[in-house]
Amino acid sequence: MTRISVRGVAVASATAVTAVGAVVGAASGSEGKTVQTVDVASATLLADAPTGAQAQNVSDGINRQANAQQVSADAAAKKAAEEAARQKAAADAQAKADAEKAAKAVEEKRAKEEANRASARSVLATVSPGSVQEMALRIVGDSNQFQCFSQIVKRESGWDYTATNASSGAYGLVQALPGSKMASAGADWRTNPETQIKWGLNYMNSRYGSPCGAWSFWQSHHWY
């Protein structure tokens, strides 16, 4: 920054004022009388003008103020840049966490589906094609629920759709009591295992929530 000589400006201004005063005095004087002018402005300005050391102090003060303003501006810009970087880092971290969570959910779903398929294959391996068990597996749908359904039917009727309890009169695969209840699933309830399976599945779902719920109750009470 260029230092300004305040004293020089003051002296030049005073000189200009003196010259103007002289011209005005000459023009207003009469009969060529000499008009004596007093360089009051020059004297005043020169008296008020700072010395060389003072001018240097003023210039240094201006420089210090400018430097302080620049330092403040640089600090503000740095702080803004750091905050922007922090926000970007946080956003990147969140995006990465979300992506990992989504990938994990997909993997867990795939593993669960594969486990269900494996369970179904295991169940099918023990069921004879065209058998009543295969029919029940198809109707029940879920392999885990079928296993619970199978546990109950095996103990109630041994998978004999004509099984009859001599003392109570319970009938069929699921030992409905009385057997005529199964008519709600079909008029052929006495001879059609599919009708009995549909009725039994509906009964277990409506009363216990699922075949596995019915099987849990059966294990505690030996009836359902």
Report the pLDDT averaged over residues 190-219.
97
Residue 191 covered by a domain:
yes
Furthest-apart CA atoms within the chain: distance in Å = 161
Domain of residue 201, CATH code: 1.10.530.10
Whole-number Cα distances in Å, 37 to 22, 40, 74, 211: 6, 9, 55, 124
**Domain for residue 54, yes or no?**
no
Tens-digit pLDDT profile for residues 76-110: 999 899 999 989 998 888 989 888 888 888 888 87
Task: Select from 125, 143, 163 the last residue of a domain.
Answer: 125
217 and 182, same structural domain? yes
Cα distance between residue 35 and residue 32, in whole Å? 9
Q: Are 196 and 204 in contact, with CB atoms under 8 Å apart?
A: no
The predicted-structure confidence for 154-164, as pLDDT tens digits, reads as follows: 999 999 999 99
Listed in sequence order, the residues at least 6 apart from 207 whose beta carbon sits closer than 8 Å to its beta carbon are 214, 224
**Is the pLDDT at 72 greater than 70, yes or no?**
yes
Among 181, 182, 165, which Cα is nearest to 223's? Answer: 165
Instruction: Say whether pLDDT at 165 is over 60.
Output: yes
Average pLDDT, the chain: 79
Are 196 and 178 contained in the same domain? Answer: yes
Answer whether residue 59 is part of any domain.
no
**pLDDT bracket for residue 3 (50, 70, 90):** very low
Pair 147, 216 in one domain? yes
The β-bridge partners of 171 are 164, 176
What pLDDT score does 8 carry?
Answer: 46
The Cβ of residue 93 has, within 10 Å, a number of other Cβ atoms equal to 10
Q: For the chain, what is the domain count? A: 3
More confident of the two residues 147 and 110: 147
In a domain, 63, yes or no: no
pLDDT at 111: 80
Q: Which residue has the higher pLDDT, 201 or 97?
A: 201
Residue of higher predicted confidence among 217 and 62: 217
* Residue 19 in domain: yes
DSSP symbols for 150-174? HHHHHHHTTT-TT-B-TTT--BTTT
* C-alpha separations of 210 from 32, 89, 116, 194, 202 in Å: 132, 49, 17, 18, 9
Range 153-160, long-range pairs (CB < 8 A, 24+ positions): 153/200, 155/218, 159/132, 159/133
Q: Do 107 and 140 share a domain, yes or no?
A: no
Q: What is the pLDDT of residue 134?
A: 92
121 and 138 both lie in a single domain: no
pLDDT number for residue 36: 52
Asked, for residue 18, whether it belongs to a domain, the answer is: yes
Cis peptide upstream of residue 211 (ω within 30 degrees of 0): no
Predicted pLDDT at 122: 59
- Residue 143 within any structural domain of the chain: yes
In this prediction, residues 45-65 reach a mean pLDDT of: 74
Is the model's pLDDT at 9 over the cut of 50? Answer: no
Q: Is the same domain home to 147 and 202?
A: yes
Length of the chain: 224
- 56 domain-assigned: no
Same domain for 217 and 169: yes
Residues 83 and 41 in one domain: no
Residue at a domain's end among 91, 108, 125: 125
Query: In terms of domains, do 191 and 208 share one?
Result: yes
The H-assigned helical ranges of the chain are 6-28, 40-48, 52-125, 132-140, 143-156, 193-208, 211-221
∠ CA 134-138-139, nearest 5°, is: 115
Mean pLDDT of all residues in 111-127? 60
- Three-state DSSP class for 189? coil
Considering the domain architecture, whether residues 121 and 142 belong to the same structural domain is answered as no
Domain shared by 117 and 156, yes or no: no
pLDDT score of 30 = 45
Is the confidence at residue 207, as pLDDT, over 70? yes
Supply the pLDDT for residue 206: 97
CA gap 130, 24 in Å, rounded: 133
Show the domain range for 154: 132-221
